[in-house]
Amino acid sequence: MKIISFASYKKRKKSEIEKQMMLEIQEIEKKTEMYPNHISLYEQLQNLNSKLEEHRKKKTEGIIVRSRAKWTEEGERSTSYFLNLEKRNYTNKSIQEIDTELLGKVSDQSEILTQVKLFYEQLYKSNQDVDLENTKINFETVLEKKIIKRN
């Protein structure tokens, strides 16, 4: 039991570290939007991105080791294609940047979510008020004509 609790503690700590790095990256991205000429911010951003990539690479190596263990136990072999696919899917889970008509290019995750939500609300929003009574009558008339043509 101590091994399992230690492993879950270790995993929780690594997840917290990854979340903290992602929050720091978002904060620095906001600062770079406010101060685009500040070179040290870009260096910090690049440094944090490389640390996050290294952290994710270690996580991917763990996935590879576990998949090899599964193959040994169950006879299922993981191909390099599968492993590369897992790695790519892990790193590409979110939209990095979106180009909007009003704001231009947006890279902040919360703003991206807002813009995507607005886009789909506008897409599925009805532009006209639908007169259900007339629509129902017209629909029934069309059906009656099709039935008459069949007979």
d(CA 148, CA 139): 14
Number of residues in the chain:
151
Residue 127 tokens, joined: 């532009």
CA gyration radius, the chain: 26
pLDDT score of 124 more than 60: yes
Residue 90 scores a pLDDT above 60: yes
Residue 126 has pLDDT above 80, yes or no: no
Structural domain boundaries of the chain?
Answer: 1-93, 95-151
Most confident of 21-35, 75-89, 97-111: 21-35
In whole numbers, what is the pLDDT of the chain averaged over residues? Answer: 77
pLDDT, tens digit (0-9, with 9 covering 90-100), for 23-73: 998 998 888 888 888 888 888 888 988 888 888 888 888 887 777 766 555
CB 28 within 8 A of CB 44: yes
CA-nearest of 28, 54, 27 to 40 is: 28
Can you give the pLDDT at residue 20?
92
Which residues, 6 or more positions from 100, have their beta carbon under 8 angstroms from its beta carbon? 106, 115
**Res. 133: pLDDT tops 60:** no
Percent of the chain with pLDDT over 90: 5
| Confidence class for position 14, pLDDT limits 50, 70, 90 | confident
For position 134, what pLDDT does the model report? 52
Q: Does residue 92 surpass a pLDDT of 80?
A: no
Beta strands (DSSP E) in 40-128 are 98-100, 104-106
φ, ψ of residue 126 to 5 degrees: the values are: -75, 130
Is 76 or 30 the better-scoring residue by pLDDT? 30
